[in-house]
Amino acid sequence: MTHPFCFRIGDRTYSFLYDTESGSLHNVDHVTFLCAKERYGLEFSEQERSEYTAVSLAERDEIKAELEKLVKEGVLDSPCSVTMNKKRVGEVKALCLHICHDCNLRCKYCFADEGTYHTSDRAHMPVEVGVKAVDFLIANSGSRRNLEIDFFGGEPLMNMKTVKAVVEYARSREKETGKTFNFTMTTNCLLLDEENRRWLNENMYNVVLSIDGRREVHNRVRKTPNGKDVFDVILNNALEFRKIRGDKSYYVRGTFTALNLDFADDVLFLNDCGFDQISMEPVVTDIPELAIRKEHIPAILSEYERLARAYIERRKTNKWFNFFHFMIDLEGGPCVIKRLTGCGSGCEYLAVTPRGDIYPCHQFAENKPYYMGNVLKSTDYDLSVSEKFARNIVTRKPECADCIAKYYCSGGCVANNLNFAGSMDTPYELSCLMMRKRMEVSMAIYAIEGQA
Amino acid sequence: MKHINSIVKDGMKKSNIGCGECQSCVTKKPLL
């Protein structure tokens, strides 16, 4: 499937054709873009219809010949040649450890019900459960050498005793098992004091710092249990961490809602603060005042384009930054197997709750129909749940067949699909619309930054 | 090619090893 798209910056409009199946990107002139829209049956605007009508038959034939040359080369209109029946089941390489089902913030949009995952006791994971989770991971990792543990919550900094014990225990088993552990943490930064900053910097492969952007945006949805605004404390802690982090992996991750559809300003604000690794995710919630609805999509897509224009300009200056959703590698991206299997939830990526219960991922925690076992009871787990996830492959989804983003989004988040589209196999339409725009913008940036 | 400037050809081929070790949520001229 070939996708024509445009990107405007300054007084220039660049036109592109992307062939999804071969992974080929072609920059074309405006006349060719019009001919491509006609070729693929896309709707013209009135102006485009008028411009296309004015193109001579000779020029149309010339363009058609060039397009057919690419077809013969296999880099345009190429057929789908990728097949995969199911993902590998029975080998686990990553665990999300729910260090506590408790939190020191009450973010309005939290999918985990203010960190509790709809439980009542705000449980903290005992050291014993953390250690058993490491044993579970090693026992089920098969031939995998690189294993990952993500410290998640709630707020994981509320239970550093277990975090430190897990890291120490896992490291102690590396030599004997031939495994290497990489640790990551997602934190709201409220307890990111000097001691925690130093320890995380030394022990974490990646740290995700949750800040939503501008003070008023952040404070509106991320308050303490007694309703206090803590933006200044959080920003200061995050900036102090950034100072000592150097070149090691971190990023600031924000969430935008229906209340800040001008989220490009939040991204640029975070960059102005001094952060150079930034992500901004659309909220996934059913809270009416915050939820992204279909009528918001045109504004959101325009905002991604506005952000991209500012992004290109800033990356030429001392305000260079990396935006997570504009990263793309068209020439050495993830291997085909990875593109088809995506995040690995339910198969190679599982979550463990404070009590040791095992679920397909953090989004499914405490969702009883997806219970898979308990690390305190056994290193075995219910593979029948994994089997359900193993068939969740992008090439098996008819809605994804002609999508420009199919080999970069891998069919979308299973939990979002289930919660908002009704089935883990059905992509959530609003996520798809945003993902496609991010793909187009990312490819345009790639081409513009790469030109001589 | 007068009308088309190929930025990347066959990116998918350049990417099928599936070593399973990665993390688990080849091309330069002015654009037309």
Give the tens place of pLDDT for each residue, A290-302: 999 889 999 999 9
pLDDT of residue A451: 76
Strand ranges across the sheet with A2-9 = A2-9, A12-19, A24-28, B4-8
pLDDT of residue A326: 94
| CA atoms within a 13 Å half-sphere pointing along the CA-CB vector of A399 | 18
Residue contact A337–B17, C-beta within 8 A: yes
Residue contact B10–A22, C-beta within 8 A: yes
Chain B residues near residue A362 by CB distance under 8 angstroms = 25
A381 contacts: CB under 8 Å, gap ≥ 6: A136, A140, A350, A358, A372, A373
| Proportion of chain A above pLDDT 90, given as a percent | 72
pLDDT at A307 over 80: yes
* Minimal C-alpha gap between A220 and chain B (Å): 26
Q: How confident is the model over A380-408, as pLDDT tens digits? A: 999 999 998 997 888 888 989 999 999 98
* Minimal C-alpha gap between B23 and chain A (Å): 7
Comparing alpha-carbon positions, the chain B residue that sits nearest to A94 is: B24
| A6, β-bridge pairs | A15
Hey, is A7 helix, strand or coil? Answer: strand
**Is the bond preceding A346 in cis, omega lying within 30 degrees of 0?**
no
The shortest CB-CB distance from A75 to any of B6, B19, B32 is to B6
Q: How confident is the model over A228-241, as pLDDT tens digits? A: 899 999 999 999 99
Residue contact B13–A21, C-beta within 8 A: no
pLDDT at A220 over 80: yes
Q: How confident is the model at residue B26 (pLDDT cuts 50, 70, 90)?
A: very low
In angstroms, the CA A227 to CA A62 distance is 66
Hey, is B4 helix, strand or coil? Answer: strand
| CA atoms within a 13 Å half-sphere pointing along the CA-CB vector of A211 | 32
pLDDT of residue A94: 95
In angstroms, the CA A12 to CA A227 distance is 48
In angstroms, the CA B31 to CA A71 distance is 21
- Output the six-digit token pair for A62: 């010339």
Comparing alpha-carbon positions, the chain B residue that sits nearest to A13 is: B32
pLDDT at A199 over 60: yes
Instruction: Please tell me which residue, A228 or A20, carries the higher pLDDT value.
Output: A20
Q: How confident is the model at residue A410 (pLDDT cuts 50, 70, 90)?
A: confident
Residue contact A91–B24, C-beta within 8 A: no
**Cβ neighbours around A182 below 10 Å, total:** 16
Residue contact A144–B17, C-beta within 8 A: no
Burial (0-12, 13-18, 19+ Cβ within 10 Å), A263: buried
Instruction: Please tell me which residue, A226 or A178, carries the higher pLDDT value.
Output: A178
Q: How many pairs of residues across A and B have Cβ atoms under 8 Å apart?
A: 137
Nearest in space to A145 (alpha carbons), one of B11, B31, B20: B20
- Output the six-digit token pair for A344: 């690995």
Kindly list the distances between the CA atom of residue A136 and the CA atoms of A12, A132, A166, A373, in Å, as whole numbers in the listed order. 56, 6, 12, 11
pLDDT at A261 over 80: yes
Which element (helix H / strand E) includes A111? none
The shortest CB-CB distance from A335 to any of B1, B18, B31 is to B18
The shortest CB-CB distance from A26 to any of B4, B14, B22 is to B4
Contact A108, A287 (CB under 8 A): yes
Mutate to test the interface with B, among A84, A336, A406, A431 (most CBs of B within 10 A): A336
Q: How confident is the model over A132-185, as pLDDT tens digits? A: 999 999 999 999 878 989 999 999 999 999 999 999 999 999 989 999 998 999
